[in-house]
Structure 1
């Protein structure tokens, strides 16, 4: 398992998913490596192949800070849509224990009073 720490330039993305306004992914890759996972194609964004899915996780180590900054700049009227955390990776995979990015992002959303729904 390869863990690669990276710095993201931006974090919140406008969603292409119907009924979802924004998405953000603190990780690229996934230690679970499920054979049926549609997200395996995301490895191309970091130079990985589909066959290596499950062998790497790229950590966006500045994700929490970017989330805070980008939400503060977001006009209040844009905060009414839905937010999906981790549309192409598992938000609670192994590295989360050390990096706490998902936890930090949820804390920022709560501090900013952005409505949050969780599916488990």
Structure 2
């Protein structure tokens, strides 16, 4: 599993969006969302969240949860592991407000 400290989302979709970390809570085994949220941003921009500023525990499996303005919420297609190593996982968001994907690209 890819180990990263930061999660980035590139907006290649036709809507304004924001995202926040979603991780598997080691106490419950269920997905939980954590602040901070990225700011709202339009197409052709990328925003990054440093997980060290979140509630995500080191070692947890994490992915972005994307919120489309006026549309659905979708999670990243691939989990990564939070490690304090300075590395970044980048996801690309493509589609429309009610039908879009969030794919790990690097």
TM (norm. structure 2) is: 0.28
Higher strand share: 2
TM (norm. structure 1) is: 0.26
Higher helix share: 1
